[in-house]
Amino acid sequence: MAETVRDTIKEITRRHLSQGSKCYGQCLTAVGWVGGTLPELYEEDGMIELSMADVAGSGIVVGAALAGERPIYVVRYQGFQWYNSPIVANYAMKSKEIWGRPCPLLIRSIAMEGGIGPVAGSSHHSIYQRMPGCKILSPMTPREYEYAYDQFMSDDSVYYISEHRKSYDNQDELINVMHDKADVTLFPISITRFAAEEARKKLEKEGIIVNVIHQLWIKPFFLEPAWATALENSKFGGIVLDDDYEEGAASSIAHTIMMDVDKKVRTMCLEHRTAGFHPTVDNLPPNAEQIYHKVKEICNV
């Protein structure tokens, strides 16, 4: 049986701890081991349980990174980055530039949504995207996660890994689909990558040709020449899809693309409202059906 994203993260963590580094977070060894992504190791093995004080926890981990530990910091809900980010953004990410002292730290920031209310849910990589000193990736496949970890280990920057729990069962790689001529090009981020693939298959059955260019890197973002060509050859432009609010990474990426390619690039992300606990007031990322209808609307079908 092929390895899933869950298996990959678990093995990476085991390997990281075996090299003398540590993994920090809240309720790491509780039932479930963070969705099965952690090996069943304890404090003597390098699995460090932090208190439920989010701001203090990030301060401890930043201190460990400055001391040379190269820690992994697990934040179980991305929405909690509003509490965890101050010390990371204002010390760890600035330490190398100001004092010449790197603070290599890998933040596992885990997104989920669906009935979990106004604080915890969805992706929040835009909190860090606007700040210098940080690199951001959103791996959704086993190889992508291995790549993200290898990049961190060969670098001395703060790495923000924007995960999503719905990717943990995935064992397949996501491959870009680019046609010579297309109607629309999708640039999906995070969990919207799976929805984009579903929508593409449904649309192409109806004769609407769709490119899907999967986004692993959020920061730094680089528009590859083949992507630019695919967008230039798309009749109705493109859409950046995200599990975060559009007033952030998605809008920034769309703007960057439009500065290089003379095509309209729209955004389709979380609605600009607060999520509740009940399904009727939840705020979810764009699903395959919504993407399908949006593309048809753009194509005037």
Share of the chain above pLDDT 70, in %: 99
Same domain for 155 and 14:
yes
Last residue of a domain, one of 167, 192, 219: 167
Domain count, the chain: 2
Element (H, E) at 288: helix 288-298
Residue 211: name the closest of 221, 197, 191, 225 by CA: 197
Cis bond before residue 279 (omega within 30° of 0): no
For residue 291, the enclosing domain spans: 184-298
Same domain for 154 and 33:
yes
Same domain for 195 and 265:
yes
We report the CATH number of the domain holding residue 249 as 3.40.50.920
Last residue of a domain, one of 167, 201, 225: 167
What is the pLDDT, as a whole number, of residue 301? Answer: 87
Same domain for 193 and 138:
no
Same domain for 192 and 78:
no
Partners of 177 in beta bridges: 212
Same domain for 248 and 127:
no
Angle in degrees, CA 174, 176, 180, rounded to 5: 160
Q: How many CB atoms lie within 10 A of CB 232?
A: 13
Same domain for 22 and 136:
yes
Q: Judge whether residue 31 has pLDDT over 90.
A: no
At position 42, the amino acid (one-letter code) is: Y
* Position 178 in a domain: no
Same domain for 94 and 132:
yes
Res. 54 pLDDT band, cuts 50 70 90: confident
We report the CATH number of the domain holding residue 93 as 3.40.50.970
* Position 173 in a domain: no
What is the pLDDT, as a whole number, of residue 253? Answer: 98
Model pLDDT for residues 219-239, shown as the tens digit of each residue: 999 999 999 999 999 999 999
What is the pLDDT, as a whole number, of residue 258? Answer: 98
Q: Judge whether residue 106 has pLDDT over 60.
A: yes
Same domain for 161 and 55:
yes
* Position 271 in a domain: yes
Res. 96 pLDDT band, cuts 50 70 90: very high
Same domain for 119 and 52:
yes
* Position 179 in a domain: no
Same domain for 206 and 144:
no
Last residue of a domain, one of 107, 137, 167: 167
What is the pLDDT, as a whole number, of residue 148? Answer: 98
Model pLDDT for residues 122-138, shown as the tens digit of each residue: 999 999 999 999 999 99
CA 193/CA 103 separation, integer angstroms? 31
Q: What is the pTM of this model?
A: 0.96
* Position 175 in a domain: no
Same domain for 59 and 28:
yes
Total H helices, total E strands in the chain: 12, 11
* Position 177 in a domain: no
